Amino acid sequence: MAEIENPKFNKNHSLDLKPMRLDVYRLACQFEGSGPLSDEREDLSVDMHQALKDLEKEFFCDEASRILLQSATIIRMLDDESEADSDEKNPFFCGFLQTADKEERLSLREACNKIIHARKINFDQSLEEGTQGCFGPYVYLYGTRSRTDWKATLYIRQFLAYAGQLLRARSLAEFLEWEKRYGCA
């Protein structure tokens, strides 16, 4: 067998980011549609309403987990490609990270790390009367790093908004330039 050089592997992966943005949009629709889907509606019979809730029950967690993991991986790859970007300059915060001795804001890069390395991902689900278990805008990630347990609370709306914006750009620096020029925040 002959090995051929892949000139785009190390820098500037030749990725089509449009399908990734579409997945981010789909995940936003999943979370935002969960509440209205839970509401009983006059235009749907009880059986039809239950059929829609059954579809959500069957697909929500698996699809949300897939998109979160895939998005986090691509965002981390793009972030790694951008040598000018650093976590210290990263203005994007989308949750909190808790360990036994501290709580700190969760940057987008660290959120991606936590999604990728999580041992458990839980979703926020309302159990209030009349909501029939609609999904809320938080994702809870659990894992261990250097023998220290952590819990990350991811604000899904902020994560998806930042992910959608960054998946239009190839780097944080390019995104910040777009934000300054076009007010995309």
Per-residue model confidence (pLDDT) at position 159:
94
For 114-132, what is the mean pLDDT? Answer: 81
Residue 156 has pLDDT above 80, yes or no: yes
Give how far the C-alpha of residue 61 lies from the chain's centroid of Cα atoms, to the nearest Å: 13
pLDDT of 12: 59
Q: Give the pLDDT score at 182.
A: 60
CA distance 53 to 37: 7
Confidence of residue 185 (pLDDT cuts 50, 70, 90): very low
- Mean pLDDT along residues 94-101: 94
CB 84 within 8 Å of CB 146: no
21 secondary structure, DSSP code: H
Confidence check: pLDDT of 104 > 90: yes
CA angle 65, 66, 70 (to 5 degrees): 115
Among 179, 182, 180, 170, which Cα is nearest to 84's? 170
pLDDT band at 148; cut points 50, 70, 90: very high
**What is the per-residue pLDDT for 157?**
93
pLDDT in tens, 53-79: 788 788 888 999 999 999 999 988 887
The confidence score (pLDDT) of residue 110 equals 94
Could you give the 3-state DSSP secondary structure of residue 104?
Answer: strand
- Percent of the chain beyond pLDDT 70? 72
Ranges 7-16, 49-58, 111-120, most confident = 111-120
pLDDT of 179 higher than 80: no
Mean pLDDT of 167-185: 66
* Residue 150 burial (10 A CB sphere; 0-12, 13-18, 19+): middle
Of 80 and 129, the one with more pLDDT: 80
Residue with tokens 């029939």: 132
- In the chain, % helix, strand, coil (3-state, to 5) comes to 50, 20, 30
In this prediction, residue 82 carries a pLDDT of 66
- Measured distance CA(152)–CA(54) in Å, rounded: 28
* CA torsion angle 167 171 177 181 (round to 10): -10
Average pLDDT, the chain: 81
